[in-house]
Structure 1
Amino acid sequence: MSRVDSTDILGNIQRAFDTLNHKLEKDVKDHLRQVYSTLTFALLVSMVGAIVNYVFDFYSFRFLFTIAIFGLMIGLIATPATHGNEKTRLIYLYSFAFLTGCNLAPFIQALDAEPALIFNAYMITCIVFGCFSLAALYADSTKFLHLGGILGSALLCLLITALFARSAFMFGVIMWGGLAINCGFVLYDTQLICEKRRRGDTDYIWHTVELFIDFVNIFRYILILLKDKDNNKRRRD
């Protein structure tokens, strides 16, 4: 029986992906490649949106951006996922990603986060998102599908708590709780996407939207937590 060398990081990563390659069906693997490649481009577009809003100072249009984001979501849902509509729905998706990035810029400015802190938050988000995605793919195919109702209820409780919580302790509970819930959604959505594909759903664009929202939410929580930690450190110094 072969042993895993903990010092051979690249080799272990390669073996992990080889195992995953044998575990998933070909059509599911092809679908996931399409989803994650589209997600990568959507995240880049979102980053461009944040930079554009920061440079040109479109903060006063935040309410209009929010309305447009909801409009694009409705457009994606209302437009059938057919080959003929693929380009139109991709335009909706990337426009949604761009405006989401535009709406992130005021959030980042309000936190007064330094570029290094933003970069760290983004890299940590990539690592967290990647780890939970892999955990979902390696687990039994339906292991996390029961989390949907639990996560929805937990999110509702968290929102209600946030309306009345005023102490620093409860702020920490809400932030860490929100991060945990959104990590749970990565597990749930990843397995749900795989299961939908097994049942014939090939709408990779909408599946990208689901994971994109998870990524952005995790980034928000991580950035807030890092900024709070930085503020506490400055006060102690």
Structure 2
Amino acid sequence: MWQNQGVYPGGDQNQGYPQGGYPQGGYPQGGYPQGGYPQGGYAQPAYPPAGQGPYPQPGGYPPQPGFQPSYGAGGGGGYGEPTGYQSPEGVGFGEDGQVKGFDFTDQTIRKAFIRKVYSILMCQLLVTLGFIGLFIFNENTRSWFRANQYMVWVAFAVVLVTLIAMACCDSVRRQSPMNFIFLAIFTLAQSFLLGATSSAYDADAVLMAVGITAAICLALTLFAFQTKWDFTVMGGFLLCATVVLLLFGILLIFMRSKIMMLVYASIGALLFSFYLVYDTQLMMGGKHKYSISPEEYIFAALNLYLDIVNIFIYILTIIGLVRD
């Protein structure tokens, strides 16, 4: 038991706390020692050295998979706020935004993206249907077109230029309102070409092709949303099939055959039906291996529109060949 003598063992009289810290067993009887607090403050160090004890080593918390925080100017060992989230390898935005994956973990983002794409697509299809109706039902328009057939080449050049610009330039298809301007010009030119093409067929054949195309696209879209099969991995196969179809079409320029044309149109309609499912699942994201970035709503709408247009052209060709 300590005696109340004003000093502690190991310390000097009337100099405050002992050199070795507080004595074990608590404070001595009689209250605090005489002489007040020690000069120079409390003993150091207050925390264990870096790398020891319960505190993390300098550099912050250990990295977790997929999360790489970066810290501010607080120096080594500081715990600044992380600046962002880096997706795991294989999942990210991708520079071209075509088939580079984006992890649609947020259902709100994915649904808003899909709504925007289909809203743009519906506007494109309405404009196209208006041009087709104008060409097949308005005799003045058909007469004007027969007198100015060079407009087909002008429209084709506009379609080609705007399509290449939107497909190859990120600044064109991502920056608003430039992306909407280019898409509007492309849609008007493409609709003019479709109207001019439809004017060569009977009105009932065109309406039949429109109805069949609408039924096919609706069925394939519902299938793409419901199926467990992942069609986004078929990009290489679809590219090879497109090259074969292109060469087949060039061959038919020199070999006129009704049967071969019918086979060519049937293969084309089937191929772009696969493309419609493929592009729809790219837009959906989620469980599929590849998906389009939410920033690419113009590109997604353009893909779907071209798929529907090509299906319509091949269906119209089949109906025309059967009726001829």
User: Does structure 1 residue 101 correspond to structure 2 residue 101?
Assistant: no
Task: Show CA shifts across 1:117-136 (max 9, x none).
Answer: 11111121111111111111
Report the 3-state secondary structure (helix = DSSP H, G, I; strand = E; otherwise coil) of the residue aligned with 1:59.
Answer: coil
* Whole-Å separation in 1 of the counterparts to 2:205 and 2:275: 25
The equivalent of 2:121 in structure 1 is 39
Counterpart amino acid of 1:175? A
The equivalent of 2:164 in structure 1 is 74
Segment drifting more, 97-106 vs 25-34: 25-34
Task: Show CA shifts across 1:176-204 (max 9, x none).
Answer: 11110000000111111222996743321
Counterpart amino acid of 1:207? A
* Whole-Å separation in 2 of the counterparts to 1:210 and 1:164: 26
* Whole-Å separation in 1 of the counterparts to 2:318 and 2:205: 11
Task: Show CA shifts across 1:95-147 (max 9, x none).
Answer: 111100111233223xx31112111111211111111111111123x610122
User: Does structure 1 residue 122 correspond to structure 2 residue 210?
Assistant: yes
Pick aligned residue for 1:26 from 84, 108, 113: 108
* Whole-Å separation in 1 of the counterparts to 2:163 and 2:241: 24
The equivalent of 1:155 in structure 2 is 242
Give the number of the structure whose residues are more often helix, by fraction.
Answer: 1
The equivalent of 1:223 in structure 2 is 316
Change (3 A) 1:198 1:218: closer
2:152, 2:193 within 8 Å by CA — same for their partners in 1? yes
Counterpart amino acid of 1:48? G
**Aligned-pair CA distance for 1:80:** 4.9
5+ residue gaps, structure 2 = 1-105, 136-140
Higher relative contact order (CA 8 A, sep 6+): 1
5+ residue gaps, structure 1 = 1-23, 232-237
* Whole-Å separation in 1 of the counterparts to 2:177 and 2:291: 24
The equivalent of 1:6 in structure 2 is none
User: Does structure 1 residue 133 correspond to structure 2 residue 201?
Assistant: no
**Aligned-pair CA distance for 1:89:** 1.3
Counterpart amino acid of 2:309? V
Change (3 A) 1:94 1:116: same
1:49, 1:99 within 8 Å by CA — same for their partners in 2? no
**Aligned-pair CA distance for 1:55:** 6.3
Report the 3-state secondary structure (helix = DSSP H, G, I; strand = E; otherwise coil) of the residue aligned with 1:86.
Answer: coil
The equivalent of 2:295 in structure 1 is 202
Pick aligned residue for 2:262 from 169, 172, 177: 172
Segment drifting more, 152-161 vs 93-102: 152-161
The equivalent of 1:48 in structure 2 is 130
User: Does structure 1 residue 64 correspond to structure 2 residue 154?
Assistant: yes
**Aligned-pair CA distance for 1:168:** 3.1
User: Which one has a bigger Cα radius of gyration?
Assistant: 2
User: Does structure 1 residue 214 correspond to structure 2 residue 307?
Assistant: yes
2:113, 2:294 within 8 Å by CA — same for their partners in 1? no
* Whole-Å separation in 1 of the counterparts to 2:166 and 2:245: 28
Change (3 A) 1:143 1:72: same
Counterpart amino acid of 1:130? L
- Aligned-residue sequence identity (percent) comes to 23
1:48, 1:98 within 8 Å by CA — same for their partners in 2? no
Q: What root-mean-square deviation, in Å, do the aligned CA atoms of Structure 1 and Structure 2 show?
A: 2.5
